[in-house]
Structure 1
Amino acid sequence: MRLSLPPRPVVVVPEDSGLIAEIEAYLASLPAPPTPPAEAARSPYAVPYLCRYGSVLQPWHAEYPLPHRTLAQRLTRRPAAPVPVSAAAHLRLTSRYLTQHGWLQGALWDAEGRVCLLGAQAAVLGHGYGTAATARTARAQVMEVLHATGRPVGSPDEYNDRPTTRQADVHRVLEQAALRAARLCL
C-alpha cells in the first residue's frame, strides 16, 4: 500500500499573478452600459437593463405582485384591491421608492418626480400596496424611532424637512422603523 501525500498548496499573490491587471483590462474593454432616456427610466413599465457587472436593476416594487383588477372590479369599474403588505413592508417599499425616484425637502413632490417622505408613502399607497391603516401604522413606527433616538419632532414630515436631515438619514430611520414593526408583528 502506497501512502500519498496531498499536493502542496500553491500560494499566488494577486499582484504577482497579473490577475488584477488582466481584470482591469477586461473591464476597460467592455462597452459602457446604455443609459435609458429620462422618461423611460421613470416609467414603471421600463425594462431593466443589465449593468456591466451583471446585476439587473429592479423596480422599487419588485418583490411584490402588481395590483390587478378582477373581472368583477373591471365590470363595475372599481379600482383594484390593494396588495396586502405589513407596516414593515410598507416602510421598505417607501425607502425603495425614495431611492428610485429621488428625495425632496420642503414639498410633497416636484416636476422631476422626486418626493419627500410623506410623498413616498402616499405614492406606495397610491400604487396599491397596503391600506391607509398600514400607512398610519408605518408612520407611528417612524415616530417611535425618531423619539427613541432622541429626535423629538411633531411628525415625520417635520424631520424630513429639517435642514440638517439628509436622504441617508431618512433611509436609516425607515429601516429602523421597519425592523421595529417586523418585531412587533412576531
Structure 2
Amino acid sequence: MNSAVLTWGPLALTPEGAALVAEIEAYLATLPATARPTQPVRDLYRFGSTVQPWHAGFPEPRPTLLDRIAHRPARPVPVTVADHLTLASRYMTAFGWTQGRLWDDQGRVCLLGAQAAVLAHGYGTPTTVVRARIQVMEVLHTTGRPVPSPDAYNDAPTTRQTDIHHLLDWASARALSLGI
C-alpha cells in the first residue's frame, strides 16, 4: 500500500482517497447540469455535514400555558444519562473548552460547566447530572485514571479537549449499554 499523501484543495488525500474523489467527479460529470452541485466538490465542508445547534435532535423546552400563568420556567425535557453526556460534549464543541473554571469570558466551559449549561437550558434534571457524573467516574477508574472527581481530570495539565470528548463518548456508550 502506498502511503504517499496528495493534497487536493484544503485536504490531504492518500492515493486511494484521490481515486475515490476522481470517481465521484466522473459520476457528477454524467449528471444533467441542473442536478450537479453548484460549487466544486472540493469546496464543500470536508466532513459533509451542516452546522447545527448543539441541541439538534432534541426538542426545546417549551413553557405550557400554566407555566406562563404561574410565571415559572418550562419543565425540563427528559433525557437519558447517555443523552445528557452527548449534549454536554456537543455544548463544549459549540462553545469551547476551558480548564480551572466553570466558564470564561468567551463562553468556553469545563466538563462541569458543560453539564450545568445543559441542565440550565432545560435538558434533564439534577438527578440526570449526578447519574452522568457517576458514569464519567466509572469510565475514569475503569481506564486507569483514578482521580477524585471528573473536574480534577478536566483540570489536569495533561488533559486536552479531545480527552474530555472521548471520556464523554465512553461514558455515554456505557450509560446506553446499561439502559440509563
TM norm structure 2:
0.76
Greater than 6 Å deviation, 4+ residue runs: 13-16
Matched, 1:144 2:158: no
Structure 1 residue 56 displacement after superposition: 1.9
Aligned residues: 151
2:165 to 149, 168, 171: 171
Show CA shifts across 1:30-89 (max 9, x none).
Answer: 6xx9xxxxxxxxxxxxxxxxx588632111100100000000000010110000000000
3-state SS of paired residue (1:63): coil
What is the alpha-carbon distance in structure 2 between the residues aligned to residue 14 and residue 130 of structure 1? 42
3-state SS of paired residue (2:40): helix
3-state SS of paired residue (1:96): helix
What is the alpha-carbon distance in structure 1 between the residues aligned to residue 18 and residue 119 of structure 2? 52
Change (3 A) 1:54 1:183: closer
Structure 2 unmatched ranges of 5 or more = 1-15, 27-38
What is the alpha-carbon distance in structure 1 between the residues aligned to residue 80 and residue 17 of structure 2? 47
> Percent of aligned pairs with the same residue?
58
2:80 aligns to what?
86
Matched, 1:68 2:82: no
How does 1:11-160 map onto structure 2 within 5 Å? 19=22, 26=40, 55-160=49-154
Structure 1 unmatched ranges of 5 or more = 1-12, 34-50
Once superposed, what is the RMSD of the aligned Cα atoms? 2.7
Change (3 A) 1:73 1:160: same
TM norm structure 1:
0.73
**Could you say which structure has the larger radius of gyration?**
1
3-state SS of paired residue (1:58): coil
